[in-house]
A and B are shown apart, each in its own frame.
Chain A
Amino acid sequence: MFSAAAHRLAAELPDGAYVANLCQDRLNFSIAFAAAVLRGQISLMTSDRSPERLRLLAERFPGTYVLTDEAEPGNPLRQHVMRAAFDLTGVQSPNPIIPVDRLAAVVFTSGSTGEPVGHRKLWGALVERSRDAARRFRVGLARPTAIVGMVPPQHMYGFETTVLLPLHSNATVWCGTAFFPSDVEAALAAMAAPRVLVTTPLQIRAVLQAGVELPALHRVISATAPLFADMAAEAEQRWQTEVCEIFGATEVGSIASRRTIEGDLWTTYPRVRVRPGELDEEVVVTGPFATPFPISDRVDAPDSAHFRLLGRRTDLLKLGGRRASLAGLNRILAEIDGVVDGLFVPPADPDTTPTARMAAFVVAPDRTPDDILAALRTRIDPVFLPRRVVKVDRLPRNDVGKLPEQALAALRAQLDRA
């Protein structure tokens, strides 16, 4: 039936080399993605659905249209709204053979200039990772498995685990909303065992703290941010399950996994290998159908199939599972009208304080903090919006225009005091 719906939608899609899939509902998103593949259209996957982002995509990928399940009034591009129900009588739905080197999707991250960087996903790589995940976590192999995902389908992690994985395994995905702890309780109860919960550390914490009772869980999979062993242990104990993590990056997709309580050693997926990179403590990941890519953390790799993470490289920020370049954010801030100079200050302990937020200092004599915030709101991912924008007369830069450590520490102290 899924296949029939995808074929039916594929026949209705407008022409266009590129399609921005903005479907809100997980099932619609999946059908839309499959339909685009059938039409040979390349799916642009962006979590940022602002008019500015869509215009930018259309500039870079001429002919882009929006495919969605709820009409978006602010959308500046051509739009196709998929219907809620399909008449599937008489639809032929042969299982297509898709070449491994077909470009199926482009997924975006923020680059150091603040502009989105697109990462090409070949069909072969997507299928390979799905099958690896299915085997590694024993999902949808011999028996059908139910998956409840608390992550959006546009983000690489949600895309792999809740859209692609069911296409290549015997898994069923919950397509209702599963965001609050009470939703998750209801969703899991509605699905038959064995059940897998696909989630993030923040959401595991929320579900644990809410104290909701979960039915028997085959496995919990977590990704997008480090999961601490004590929380994993509590989840394993409370929910009588195994808690595993996937390590990956939008650029390369999922590459490794571990069972969190077993320690800090990650095991790569089959045929994914790590080899030394150019910088100290750097490794480059290689895998079938994927471009070699350096992992952005500092890494120690005892062999080509295992590694440990040693800490982050300093320009890269991660908040709420989203990534940004600090240099990129600062550039965006400085380019706002009326901002003479500006600086984002990241939170001191983002991994241990889930609601930690950025702060920003600006030199902007004629603008108010609210003005700055409004300008930022249209330019950056909401999770990086500063909780406070502090106006100052000048930033304590040194002779070569840099902000020395002491000056940064003093700025931080100013935030704590105020």
Chain B
Amino acid sequence: MPLDTHALAERDVAQLLVEALHLEISPDEIDPTEKLFGDGLGLDSIDALEIALAISRTYGFELKSDDARNLEVFASLRSLTQHIATHRTK
């Protein structure tokens, strides 16, 4: 159940990506619909682990491979934000 705290903005999640992965761009430079993995932002599976950790710490839930694959959670910043918004516990 999504919490009744401030609405989760794509920019918040972009910030998390930039910090967790030490990306050399600002959060605003991540296009919400651009691919995160492979082309687009160019992240890989090592980054996926770091992202899972950061999400666990910040939003209090664990990413699972089945979710990540089936729901195309990692397709874009937008889809990732929606997934977090649905599952966050903090």
Contact = CB atoms under 8 A, between A and B. Distances in A.
Interface in A367-414: 373-374, 377, 382-383, 385, 387-388
A203 interface: yes
B75 interface: no
A177 B49 CA distance: 14
Given A210-B56, A385-B42, A180 B24 contact: no
B9 interface: no
Interface in A338-358: 354-355
A15 interface: no
Contacts of B42: 373, 377, 382, 385
Interface string A167-182: 0000000001111111
Interface string B35-48: 00011001011111
Contacts of A320: 44-46
Interface residues of B, number: 24
Interface in B43-68: 44-50, 52-53, 56, 62-66, 68
B46 A209 contact: no
Given A209-B53, A355-B22, 10 more contacts: A178-B65, A179-B45, A179-B49, A180-B62, A181-B56, A320-B45, A320-B46, A382-B44, A387-B23, A388-B24
Given A180-B52, A355-B21, A202 B65 contact: no
B32 to A, nearest CB: 19
B51 to A, nearest CB: 10
Interface of A: 176-183, 186, 202-203, 206, 209-210, 212, 320, 354-355, 373-374, 377, 382-383, 385, 387-388
Given A177-B69, A355-B21, A387-B23, A210 B46 contact: no
A385 B49 CA distance: 18
Contacts of B24: 387-388
19 contacts: A176-B65, A180-B52, A180-B65, A181-B52, A181-B62, A182-B63, A183-B65, A202-B46, A206-B50, A206-B53, A210-B52, A320-B44, A320-B45, A354-B46, A355-B50, A374-B39, A377-B38, A377-B39, A377-B42
A202 B50 CA distance: 9
A203 B49 contact: yes
B65 A210 contact: no
Contacts of B66: 177, 183
B44 A180 contact: no
A179 B48 contact: yes
Contact of A383 (B44, B56, B63, B69): B44
Q: Which 4 residue pairs across A and B have the least CB separation, nearest first?
A: A182-B62, A177-B65, A206-B49, A382-B44
A202 B62 CA distance: 17
Contacts of A178: 65
